[in-house]
Amino acid sequence: MAAYDVAVEERPTASSAAPVINDFSIQVATVNGSGSQTANLVLLRAIFQMGVPVSGKNLFPSNIAGLPTWFTIRANKKGYVARKKEIDVLVAMNPETAREDVLGLPAGAAVVYDAPLDLDSLRDDLVFYPVPFDALLAKVSRDVKLRRRVRNMLYDGVLSRLLGVDLDEMEAALRKQFGGKPKVVAINREALDVGCAYAEEHLDKRDPFFIEPMDANRGRILVEGNAAAAIGCMMAGVTVVTWYPITPSSSLCETLIDYLRKYRVDEETGKATFAVVQAEDEIAALGMALGGAWAGARSMTATSGPGVSLMGEFAGLGYYAEVPAVIFDIQRVGPSTGLPTRTAQGDVLSTAFLSHGDTRHPLLFPSSPEECYSMAMDAFDLAERFQTPVFVLSDLDLGMNTWMSAKFGYPSKPLDRGKVLDAEALEKIGRFGRYRDVDGDGIPWRSVPGTPAPAYFCRGSGHNEWGQYSERSDDYEKNVDRLARKFETARDWMPAPEVEIDRRATVGIIAYGTSHWAVVEGRDQLLEEADLQTSYYRLRAYPFRSGLASFVERHEHVYVVEQNRDAQLASLMRLELKAELAGRLRSVLHYAGVPIDARTITDDILIQEGYRAERSVAHGRMPHEAGVGGE
Amino acid sequence: MAAYDVAVEERPTASSAAPVINDFSIQVATVNGSGSQTANLVLLRAIFQMGVPVSGKNLFPSNIAGLPTWFTIRANKKGYVARKKEIDVLVAMNPETAREDVLGLPAGAAVVYDAPLDLDSLRDDLVFYPVPFDALLAKVSRDVKLRRRVRNMLYDGVLSRLLGVDLDEMEAALRKQFGGKPKVVAINREALDVGCAYAEEHLDKRDPFFIEPMDANRGRILVEGNAAAAIGCMMAGVTVVTWYPITPSSSLCETLIDYLRKYRVDEETGKATFAVVQAEDEIAALGMALGGAWAGARSMTATSGPGVSLMGEFAGLGYYAEVPAVIFDIQRVGPSTGLPTRTAQGDVLSTAFLSHGDTRHPLLFPSSPEECYSMAMDAFDLAERFQTPVFVLSDLDLGMNTWMSAKFGYPSKPLDRGKVLDAEALEKIGRFGRYRDVDGDGIPWRSVPGTPAPAYFCRGSGHNEWGQYSERSDDYEKNVDRLARKFETARDWMPAPEVEIDRRATVGIIAYGTSHWAVVEGRDQLLEEADLQTSYYRLRAYPFRSGLASFVERHEHVYVVEQNRDAQLASLMRLELKAELAGRLRSVLHYAGVPIDARTITDDILIQEGYRAERSVAHGRMPHEAGVGGE
Amino acid sequence: MTSPARTTANSPANKKTNRAGLELPAYRGGKTTLCAGCGHNAISERIIDACFAMGIEPDRVIKLSGIGCSSKSPAYFLGSSHGFNAVHGRMPSVGTGALLANHELVAIGVSGDGDTGAIGIGQFVHLMRRNLPIVYVIEDNGCYGLTKGQFSPTADVGSTLKTGVVNDLPPIDTCALAIQLGATFVARSFSGDKKQLTAVLKAALAHRGTAMIDVLSPCVTFNDHEGSTKSYAYVKSHDDPLGELDFVPFFEDISVDYEPGAVQEVTMHDGSRLYLRKLDEAYDPTDRMHALRVLHETHDRGEFATGLIYVEPAAADFLTTLNLVDEPLASLPESRVRPPKAVLDEIMAGLG
Amino acid sequence: MTSPARTTANSPANKKTNRAGLELPAYRGGKTTLCAGCGHNAISERIIDACFAMGIEPDRVIKLSGIGCSSKSPAYFLGSSHGFNAVHGRMPSVGTGALLANHELVAIGVSGDGDTGAIGIGQFVHLMRRNLPIVYVIEDNGCYGLTKGQFSPTADVGSTLKTGVVNDLPPIDTCALAIQLGATFVARSFSGDKKQLTAVLKAALAHRGTAMIDVLSPCVTFNDHEGSTKSYAYVKSHDDPLGELDFVPFFEDISVDYEPGAVQEVTMHDGSRLYLRKLDEAYDPTDRMHALRVLHETHDRGEFATGLIYVEPAAADFLTTLNLVDEPLASLPESRVRPPKAVLDEIMAGLG
Ligand SMILES: Cc1ncc(C[n+]2csc(CCOP(=O)(O)OP(=O)(O)O)c2C)c(N)n1
Ligand SMILES: Cc1ncc(C[n+]2csc(CCOP(=O)(O)OP(=O)(O)O)c2C)c(N)n1
Ligand code: SF4
Ligand code: SF4
Ligand SMILES: [Mg+2]
Ligand SMILES: [Mg+2]
């Protein structure tokens, strides 16, 4: 902490505004492929290590190199981790967007920028810090190739000085990243020092933003949702993983592969307790997962919207032939190819009803890395218990961005492999009928190939309770009625909501997945700004728990907050709630591709509740969401 | 009519019950592949030609030969054409099902059966007519091969005598079927005569069922829905037809091919004004249709549930890139492969929301062959007007069964090719922006490759109103908001409902597609049996016309009748109606694979309205729905 | 071709038990619901024979198929084995998953020429490429039987539908395609050639890797046109066609028995002919280019080469390259698939 | 190979107009957003050259693609032509539909090895079989560029991902596959071989039928492993890999120019090598079996045969077999597509 203390002591005092401590956003505007991700994560992690709650969101283009990217780090002492629209500190490295980036800033913001860009003439209500990056680079190393790669570390150095981020924490973060590569750490540290020294010598601190150490992060980790889900899958004992690459789900499988190769290889024999196959497409990926699950393996696949749209036929087979499978849908912006690198919650309806006929699937909605981890395990248990495909609906924001999280707890329950027939169970149920409802819960017993239990013929065509082919009306009705009953049974096995009842509240809020974080902050804003108390129901799964109705019943209006155009989850609720209750539902919708922010929710609810006439900021847009004209 | 008159005069008088004239059902239970379809259609057509309202429904297995089939002909003087559960006259030709078929009959029914089956000992409340078919066959021809093929014509002969169906009308029907093949007509006529003579000589008429000539069918035709749709497509000027075989949609394309080859080949050059491609699967079929439509052709494909489930990705592309396409979904029973030769209305939700993201598609619901014809034309007009895939949701009952219909009228409106840019339009709109909302209706102008209008780049990824690639939030929101607006515009372009308001009614009924016919009859039953007046809203399309709400508003309860388990159309309504109105919706659901009948509706509504405690017959099942144990 | 000792359903040897201790009836399945005379039924019989002869344990077998008349047939053999009748054209992926779950299973896949050649060609290509250990039988009738006779991608150029529509597209030769894709066992036979088909199936069951067998299998009901090389067909020559809407005549199975090196002419009910050329005994099935040339040359002559066309016995199969533990993944206990707390702690420490 | 008179983007001939009366810039497209040095960019340049040289009218061209870095490239050439960036692997069907609608269009399809070889292999197979008149370019880098470097089905055995995962599956040879399926024009080239690639593209544009060109096209960003024959790659030999999370180095295009019959060794940035064998002038591309053998033999030697590998100039293309009216179907007036009342009356009479 030495370096930090020094920085604080020598803090420049030119700033007239009161200091803003641990409550601001830094945005780095750069070009993708330029290696800025390392610098951004080092900055993020350093702040995290200083005990300050922090979150990072990467807004990147659907391309590999050369297009604009914005990485935003939000430090917030209260622990808010939702996106915040206003940027307080901009690092402008990208000539293409710099103008628009600067013009979008609120008054009083600070701008660190590449000196040749000459941005300081654009506005006079900002604090400008020009930095001659190329000139500084020459000081780092003589090796031109190497040097180019640490260019971005210079702005970390500058920021460390300006904001008071501990240089040693940055180095520690570097070490975390580059583990066994001391040379790499060293040259990066050099760049940090050069940047810091430049700031010390040439930049006059005139903005109010400071990081000061706190102690909020004890026992916490930094992790992406997809990595968390991967850990969950491994701990769930997944044995068959089939996938087809697609943003933003690829990193789930790729991280899982890394972990499996590290921790699920038999030490003695060097052989794998898992199989991973990169399939030829999503249809094959789900087909393999179903084949694997039918033959007794815990099977999964991961994809995003376009993949889901291809999986319809197999999903229906899984539902009707009652074959488990876990399908992660890391949602991105649709329809169609849409915005592949932007976030949304737009696949709720398409997954719930995926396939023709009267098909219906359970969905899980993780809000945090911790839930990506725990719901991965839930998903396998539920898929096997209910012998049906289960969708885990994460999104790009959760899956690919970096989140603080409590450390994950070791699972306390054994795996639930569901009603798989062994000799004992066979004894109990008497004659085996694959689709007989022996226990009255709609869930039949199944046998697994290669075991001594009696065989059956698994098919997506009509069948009776003995598993025989049948076109009889009564067999058909009986079977689909049982499937409906099974779905009902599932209701109270699904992860329960997190409910916070404010007894005085007449307004309720329902949210799920990543919308949660903006709701947390929004509720505080509603209370602070309009003294509006709210209750909160964080929904975690479909089919809904039976308590949903009573939550709605307690409130005059219930706002369903979600990140899609068509109010998809509210739609599912309307189908289940009594009309009187359905009538209390209202929607707060955000579908800008960027994660939802608290302000959108607060404003929208205040307007709908009649507190205000107009939004304070244009709906769901932020100035820097410049996008690109590329392909 | 001579033969008929004779038959009437000599009518056996042993029957004690009062005669039942032109109001009964005949069911022929046979084995598929045995050629009974010809005999059944000849019987149906003969009754039709006698001016008696009639309908035919074929219940056949998902196999080619050797499994049980039931063909039911309903003659009804009031014109009811829905399925009726009770069978009055059974022709039992299939040893495998004969027992169950006979046991399922109501008392007083007549059974014509193959003598060796010895069925008369099974019950004593039926009228049995044994016929030694094989012995009779020997009289028809010495050619063993030929003979086997007319075996079924013998029962037509027997029935002509027993029921009073004119033999000459049967011969006329034969001639209709076998057009230019006098030898075939002759041998079949011979079989008819042999059957008739046998009945005259050996069978003592003891049942009350008679066909008597009427004059209800003037100007009417007999046609299957799929053939009607094919005619509609041809008259709509379809130019690109792409398909993949699947029951029950294949006959739509196959009939269309026949018509196109006959009527759409340039007389001078012998060249085709259409292209038909049997694609490698449904994904390719829709891809080709979209490619064709993008390049300016009127393009279509036809499929059923499993095909729809495969089309998700391309359907989303069509929605988002705004490419027209007409997709016929001839619904069968799902989920999954389900019951491929049974009927359902189970794809409403999956087609309405087909694809990930906020995708939504217009749906058309034909109820009759006439509407298959007219809505085929509507579908092309709407698809091009709204530049989006349009689904026509027919079903197996409508598509493959034989229906009476008024003759189709020649189209009175020219083709609506929508907003396709020519020089004049270009002038008007100024600078071309493929996705600009020039007219305020959400519908942009499009240009077509190979024409002089400016080009654009069509894509399923994010784009701005100029058609350029864009990842900007504002471009995205603007675009999907416009798409939502376009969908709103479509509302009042969709085929209007047929509404019958009974001013005294507190109960309303909503139905669509083939459920209509059972509702017609059910409303009469409600009135007769319980003096319950009902209003009726026959819905014909989604998005719903704006008048739907006011229909619901007029009534205390509104019953949505549909043929699926999950109340799929009622679900779509719940999403649109104000809660207060949604609360009035109730469902009558029938999902037995066989077409819905009036009794199911009547009983269900009477129970829900509190008139009755119990159903009179087990829900949606009829005794003979024996099904098969085959694969 | 292995196992010279043949046992067929009709020989007295039936009564004896095989090395699995079972009698032939233990390999039978449900009663067929296919048309009488359908080649697919004969193939089911040969699968029964081959499995019996090889002493395969039925409870280790999984039967896999897509959708079609052909894909129904797994219900008609090995009734006590597990079966999975998947969706149209996607049997390969389901089979792949099942074998990942349990590499000890013996997988027998049955598909049609439509199921494999049209909607399923993508999964077929990738199955061949992976060399998954499965016996993959295509019951090849050149048409879509179950949907009433449309052309499949193996239909001959010039084949004509009842409606008069003519096929202009060249057939896909699934054998040549498989060889091209790296398949390690490729054979062709005829449903009516008991001796050869049983032998080929036995060899396939003995092969570790994908064993692809294209079996020409007449559809007696729909493939009734002169142009077809894969057809039976009905009453065409002298009678006026009666044109019943759904009349399916009854046919007897056609069977053939001919010598290696010989060409067998098979006359169909409609008088059309199929020429089968049995590879002679000197034929070397391990030379890939030679195999391709034989296929091309026989095709150009209007013949079908039959027998084991190509084999690469030593290639590693897909499951082997995955280096899986010896026990089936499906039956690993929790202790072997859920890492201990120390692992989670280590990961958490790395992220903290 | 037709059109010996070559015109490239860099020659002074640029200023002149072609037979369509256009100058070269009329064939340019939007600014590329692919990585610097990506082979795909060079291919776009060659397409521009070839279309200019052939005097193709841009407003008759449609550009079609699937999804991938490669599939983006149609935005970077022929900016005034219509384009359709379809869904992943399904460009063939969209192209087929478009050509049905208007057989006068000149279709240029661009796909990747993942787009074609994995998810799209089914549509590829059937496109080849149909002989649809389209120039079908595979920009083949052996990996999935856009999703960050996973193996594609053309990756070499033994290729290794950064994570250490090794590819064990044999590559699909799209050229041999296409020939096997009956394709009528099959060529292979290298993105950096201006002369050959332009010539091949010009010949392809002149061919009536499917012209399939597999163009080896290095992915400078992801295909950076020793084992690959299709790679550039970065800083590997001396430096300690810096492992930045998203650093993409800047590369210059590689270009080659070698003689027919010669083998050209192309050295990649990582020191790995690619061997191109240019078919010599005596090579007869009309012999199918010979073409297949050359592909197999060069592959076994670790080389890629380049040039026009197979052509069957006389085969009827798909649109011709459909016997369409001369005018594009898309522009037929209502009077030619809606039959007169007499037709409807006739049909009604038949049903009455
Ligand atoms: C997705 C989908 N599309 C279409 C169908 C309809 N279908 C059932 S079987 C079949 C073709 C069967 O042909 P083939 O595989 O050759 O089998 P065969 O009946 O000739 O033995 C088709 C198209 C289906 N079941 N699923
Ligand atoms: C249905 C679907 N699945 C997955 C993806 C993700 N995806 C985009 S491009 C691509 C692979 C591209 O590889 P290739 O065709 O070789 O093109 P390259 O980028 O290498 O040029 C994938 C898997 C997608 N867009 N759609
Ligand atoms: S239709 Fe053809 S393929 Fe199907 S069962 Fe009958 S003969 Fe066999
Ligand atoms: S990632 Fe590879 S394929 Fe994609 S643009 Fe960059 S170099 Fe080209
Ligand atoms: Mg077939
Ligand atoms: Mg690639």
Buried b (16+ CB within 10 A) or exposed e, B139-172: bbbeeeebbbbbbbbbbbbbbbbbbbbbbbbbbb
Examine residue A413 and state whether it is found in any structural domain, yes or no.
no
Q: Which amino acid type is present at position D284?
A: D
For B290-303, the three-class secondary structure string (H helix, E strand, C coil) is HHHHHCCCCEEEEE
Q: How confident is the model at residue A35 (pLDDT cuts 50, 70, 90)?
A: confident
Q: What is the largest CA-CA distance in chain A?
A: 86
| C-alpha B630 to ligand 3 mean position (Å) | 14
Task: Assess whether the C-beta atom of C40 lies below 6 angstroms from ligand 3.
Answer: yes
pLDDT tens-digit readout, A335-363: 999 999 999 999 999 999 999 999 999 99
Q: Is the pLDDT confidence value at D251 over 70?
A: no
In a domain, B396, yes or no: yes
Residue D246, chain A, CB below 8 Å: the answer is yes
* Coil vs helix vs strand at A331: strand
Q: How confident is the model at residue D229 (pLDDT cuts 50, 70, 90)?
A: low
Helix H segments across B178-327?
182-202, 225-235, 250-263, 282-294, 305-310, 312-321
Å from CA of D313 to ligand 1 middle:
35
Alpha-carbon distance B410 to nearest alpha carbon in chain D (angstroms) = 6
Q: Is C220 within 8 Å of C236 (Cβ atoms)?
A: no
Dist. CA B31 → ligand 5 center (Å): 23
Per-residue pLDDT, averaged over D229-234, amounts to 49
Let me know if residue B586 belongs to a domain. Answer: yes
- The chain B residue lying nearest C145, using CA atoms, is B64
Chains with at least 3 CB pairs less than 8 angstroms from chain A? B, C, D
Distance from CA of C165 to the nearest CA of A (A): 30
A-chain residue closest to C123, CA distance: A284
What pLDDT sits at residue B17?
72
Residue C115 CA: nearest ligand 1 atom is: 15
For B181, the closest chain C residue by CA position comes to C240
B316 and B233 co-located in one domain: yes
Report CA B374 to chain centroid distance, whole Å. 14
Pocket-forming residues, ligand 2, beta carbon under 6 Å? A 244-246, 282, 306-307, 310, 337; D 67-70, 88, 112-115, 139, 141, 143-147, 152, 219
Question: Is the distance from the beta carbon of residue D134 to the nearest atom of ligand 4 less than 6 Å?
Answer: no
The CATH number of whichever domain residue B6 belongs to comes to 3.40.920.10
Q: In this complex, do B271 and D94 lie within 8 Å of one another by their Cβ atoms?
A: no
What tokens does A5 get?
Answer: 């203390």
Shortest-distance atom of ligand 1 to CA C87: 26
Q: Which long-range contacts (CB under 8 A, 24 or more apart) does A602-608 make?
A: A602/A522, A602/A525, A602/A526, A602/A529, A604/A559, A605/A507, A605/A509, A605/A522, A605/A526, A605/A532, A605/A534, A605/A559, A606/A526, A606/A529, A606/A530, A606/A532, A608/A557, A608/A559
Q: What are phi and psi of D345, to 5 degrees?
A: -60, -45
Give Cβ neighbours of residue C54 (< 8 Å, ≥ 6 apart): C3, C18, C202, C205, C206
Residues A479, A616, single domain; the answer is no
Domain boundary among A491, A511, A542: A491
Q: Residues A251-258: contacts with CB within 8 Å, 24+ apart? A: A251/A224, A251/A226, A251/A227, A251/A399, A251/A400, A252/A226, A252/A227, A252/A302, A252/A328, A252/A330, A252/A399, A253/A302, A254/D163, A255/A226, A255/A227, A255/A230, A256/A229, A256/A230, A257/D163, A257/D165, A258/A230, A258/D163
> How many contacts, defined by CB atoms under 8 Å, are there between B and D?
208
| C148 CA closest ligand 3 atom index | 1
Q: Encoding tokens for residue B162? A: 């027993």
Radius of gyration of chain C (CA): 22
- Single pTM value for the model: 0.94
**Position A5 pLDDT exceeds 50:** no
- Determine the length of chain C: 352
B579 contacts A473? CB cut-off 8 A: no
Handedness of CA B433, B438, B441, B446 (dihedral sign): negative
d(CA C85, ligand 1 centre) in Å: 12
Judge whether residue B11 has pLDDT over 60: no
Same domain, B214 and B228: no
* C-alpha–C-alpha distance, residues A534 and A523, integer Å: 7
pLDDT at residue B588 above 60?
yes
For residue B246, the distance in angstroms to the closest alpha carbon of chain C comes to 6
- Summarize the confidence of residues A481-501 as an average pLDDT: 98
Residue D258 has pLDDT above 90, yes or no: no
Specify the 3-state DSSP secondary structure of B38: helix
For the Cβ of D268 lying below 6 angstroms from any atom of ligand 4, the answer is: no
Tell which of B381, B406, B431 closes a domain: B406
Could you say which ligand is closest to the alpha carbon of residue C70? 1
Q: What angle do CA B331, B333, B334 make, to 5 degrees?
A: 105
Last residue of a domain, one of B218, B244, B276: B218
* Dist CA B327 CA B345 (whole Å): 16
d(CA D329, CA B448): 13
Question: Does residue B411 lie in a domain region?
Answer: no
Give residue B107's pLDDT: 96
CA–CA distance, A273 with B576 (Å, rounded to integer): 50
The predicted pLDDT at position C173 comes to 97
CB D149 within 8 A of CB D109: no
Q: Which residues contact A568 (CB under 8 A, 6 or more apart)?
A: A345, A346, A348, A349, A562, B358
Residues A97 and A118 in one domain: yes
Helix B473-491 vs helix B369-386: crossing angle, to nearest 10: 150
pLDDT level of residue D245 (50, 70, 90 thresholds) = low
Q: Is the pLDDT of residue D2 over 50?
A: no
What's the confidence (pLDDT) of residue A77?
A: 98
Domains of chain C: 17-351 (3.40.50.970)
Asked if the model's pLDDT at residue B10 lies above 50, the reply is no
Q: Do the Cβ atoms of A159 and A4 come closer than 8 Å?
A: no
In tens, the pLDDT along B22-45 reads 999 999 999 988 889 999 999 999
Q: Under a CB-based contact definition with an 8 Å cutoff, are residues A505 and A536 in contact?
A: no
- The closest of A294, A300, A283 to A322, measured between CA atoms, is A294
Are A117 and A47 part of one and the same domain? yes
pLDDT tens for each residue of B126-171:
999 999 999 999 998 777 777 888 999 999 999 999 999 999 999 9
The helix/strand/coil state of B106 is coil
Residues A105, A154 share a domain:
yes
Start-to-end CA distance of chain C, whole Å, equals 61
Residue B518 lies in a domain: yes
Per-residue pLDDT, D10: 46
Would you state the structure tokens that stand for residue D246, as one six-digit string? 């998203």
pLDDT band for D1, please (50, 70, 90 cuts): very low
Q: Which ligand 3 atom is nearest residue C37's CA?
A: 7
Q: How many CB atoms are located within 10 Å of the residue B130 CB?
A: 18
DSSP-based three-state secondary structure for A401: coil
Dist. CA B63 → ligand 3 center (Å): 9
Residue of chain B whose Cα is closest to the Cα of A594: B473
Q: Cα separation of C249 and B68, whole Å?
A: 16
CA atoms within 13 A on the CB side of B310: 30
* Angle at alpha carbon of residue B505, lines to B501 and B506, rounded to 5°: 120
CB A537 within 8 A of CB A499: yes
Per-residue pLDDT of B339-389, as tens digits, reads 999 999 999 999 999 999 999 999 999 999 999 999 999 999 999 999 999
According to DSSP, the β-strands at A507-512 and A557-562 are: parallel
Pick from B358, B359, B579: which is nearest to A583 by CB?
B579
What b/e readout covers B207-241, taking b as 16+ CB neighbours within 10 angstroms? bbbbbbbeebbeebbbbbbbbbbbbbbbbbbbbbb
Taking the CA atoms of D336, D340, D342 and D344 in sequence, report the sign of the dihedral they define: positive
- H or E element in which residue A45 lies: helix A36-49
pLDDT of A263 above 70: yes
Q: Which of A630, A631, A629, A624 is nearest to A70 (CA)?
A: A624
Ligand nearest to the CA of D141: 6
Residue B568 lies in a domain: yes
The minimum CA-CA distance between B107 and chain C, rounded to whole Å, is: 32
Q: Which residue of B has its CA nearest to A359?
A: B335
CB of B541 closer than 8 Å to CB of B363: yes
Q: In this structure, are B248 and B373 located in the same domain?
A: yes
Q: Are residues A146 and A280 in the same domain?
A: no
B348 CA: distance to closest CA in chain A (Å): 8
- In angstroms, the separation between the Cα of residue A515 and the nearest Cα of chain C is 24
Query: What does the CA dihedral A300, A303, A304, A305 come to, rounded to 10 degrees?
Result: -80
Residues B116 and B24 in one domain: yes
- Cβ atoms within 10 Å of B256's Cβ, excluding its own: 28
In a domain, A70, yes or no: yes
Name the nearest CA neighbour of A516 among A499, A538, A548: A538
Instruction: Specify the pLDDT at position D247.
Output: 59
Specify the pLDDT at position D164.
Answer: 80
Å between C73 CA and nearest CA of chain B: 8
Name chain C contacts of D156, Cβ cutoff 8 Å.
none
C126 near D CB under 8 A? yes
Q: Which residues of A22-37 are buried (b: 16+ CB within 10 A; e: fewer)?
A: bbbbbbbbbbbbbbbb
Give the integer Cα–Cα distance in Å for B348 and B564: 9
Please, which residues have CB within 8 angstroms of residue A366's CB and are 6 or more apart in sequence? Answer: A225, A229, A372, A374, A375, A392, A393, A394, A398, A513, A540
The reply to whether B135 and B171 lie within a common domain is: yes
CB D86 less than 6 A from any atom of ligand 4: no
Task: Dump pLDDT digits (tens) for B596-609.
Answer: 999 999 999 999 99
Residue with more model confidence, A7 or B97: B97
Which of A393, A448, A439 shows the shortest CA–CA distance to A417?
A448
Residue D239 has pLDDT above 70, yes or no: no
Is residue B156 located within the same domain as residue B209? yes
Kindly give the number of the ligand 3 atom that is closest to the alpha carbon of C41: 8
pLDDT of residue A2: 33
Share of chain A above pLDDT 70, in %: 95
Residue B202: name the closest of B147, B151, B161 by CA: B161
Q: Say if CB A32 and CB D246 are below 8 A apart.
A: yes
CA torsion through residues A62, D107, D118, C287, sign:
negative
Residue B99, amino acid: R
Give domain status of residue A69, yes or no. yes
The Å distance, Cα A133 to ligand 2 centre, comes to 36
Beta strand residue intervals within chain D, DSSP E: 61-65, 82-85, 106-112, 134-140, 143-144, 150-151, 185-190, 210-216, 263-267, 273-278, 304-311
Q: Could you list the pLDDT tens digit for every one of the 352 residues in chain C?
A: 333 344 444 444 446 899 999 999 999 999 999 999 899 999 999 999 999 999 999 999 999 999 999 999 999 999 999 999 999 999 999 999 999 999 999 999 999 999 999 999 999 999 999 999 999 999 999 999 999 999 999 998 888 887 788 899 999 999 999 999 999 999 999 999 999 999 999 999 999 999 999 999 999 888 755 556 665 433 223 233 334 456 555 566 677 788 888 877 776 544 556 677 888 888 999 999 999 999 999 999 988 999 999 999 889 999 999 999 999 999 999 999 999 999 999 999 999 9
If one counts every other C-beta atom within 10 angstroms of the C-beta of residue A508, the result is 26
Domain span at residue B619? 498-626
Least CB–CB distance from C59: residue in A220, A231, A455: A455
| D308 has pLDDT over 60 | yes
Q: Of ligand 2's atoms, which has the minimum distance to the CA of residue A337?
A: 25
Are B184 and B209 part of one and the same domain? yes
pLDDT at A63: 85
pLDDT tens digits for range B233-271: 999 999 999 999 999 999 999 999 999 999 999 989 999
**Residue B280 forms contact with C (CB below 8 Å):** yes
- Work out which ligand 2 atom sits closest to the CA atom of D66: 15
Asked whether the predicted pLDDT for residue B115 surpasses 70, the reply is: yes
Domain count for chain B: 4
Closest D-chain CA to C123 = D122
* Listed range (A7-16, A395-404, B183-192) with the worst mean pLDDT: A7-16
Over residues D114-133, the mean pLDDT reads 98
Calpha distance C138→A441 (Å, rounded): 41
Output the average pLDDT for chain B: 93
Residue identifier of the C-alpha nearest atom 5 of ligand 4: D34
Cα three-residue angle B491-B496-B501, rounded to 5 degrees = 125
- pLDDT for A129 beyond 70: yes
B479-488, C229-238, D343-352: least confidently modelled range: C229-238
Provide, as residue numbers in chain A, all residues whose Cβ is less than 8 Å from the Cβ of D31: 630
CATH code, domain with B513? 3.40.50.920
pLDDT greater than 80 at residue B230: yes
Is there a contact between D93 and B287 (Cβ–Cβ < 8 Å)? yes
Taking contacts as CB-CB distances below 8 angstroms, the residues of chain B near C235 are 145
Per-residue pLDDT reduced to its tens digit, D23-40:
999 999 999 999 998 999
Report how far residue B101's alpha carbon sits from residue B117's, in angstroms, rounded to the nearest whole number. Answer: 12
The token pair that represents D132 in the structure block: 């649809």
- Which region holds residue D29: left if phi is over 0, alpha if psi is between -120 and 50, else beta? beta
Per CB-CB distance under 8 Å, the chain D contacts of B415 are 334, 337-338
Average pLDDT over residues A147-163: 94
pLDDT of residue D85: 97
3-state secondary structure of A565: coil
| From A383-397, A545-559, B2-16, the region with the lowest mean pLDDT | B2-16
Interatomic CA distance for residues B24 and B75, integer angstroms: 6
Task: Please tell me if the CB atom of residue C221 comes closer than 6 angstroms to any atom of ligand 3.
Answer: yes
Q: Which residue out of A244, A273, A464 would a mutagenesis test of the C interface target, given it has the greatest number of C Cβ atoms within 10 Å?
A: A273
